[in-house]
Amino acid sequence: MELLDLEVRRAAHWQQREGVPAAELGAKLRGGEPLAPREARLAGMLAQQEPLLHVGLGLLLNMAEADVAVEARMVKKVRDG
């Protein structure tokens, strides 16, 4: 969980550094528009994170799916902050 949050914060830092919001980049990628060098660099870095986020969230979902107590603890942690 800590690692997932680290990656989310990394992505936010990259967006701030490149000055390109991810939503705008996603809209450009969906529209098939050409990307500026900064946007292409950001897209590459975000694409590197995708497998990590996929397996990390999948792991947490698997753990929560199998045991209701684990899921309840997750919800409790989120509610307590």
Binding site for other proteins (CB under 8 A): 1-9, 48-49, 51-52, 55-64, 66-67, 70-71, 74-75, 77-78, 80-81
When the beta carbons of 27 and 61 are compared against other proteins, the nearer one is 61
Which residues are within 8 A (CB) of 49 and not within 5 positions of it... i.e. 6 or more apart?
7, 10, 11
When the beta carbons of 28 and 64 are compared against other proteins, the nearer one is 64
Q: Judge contact between 22 and 11, C-beta under 8 A.
A: yes
**DSSP assigned state of 33:** P
Shortest Å, Cβ 12 to other proteins: 11
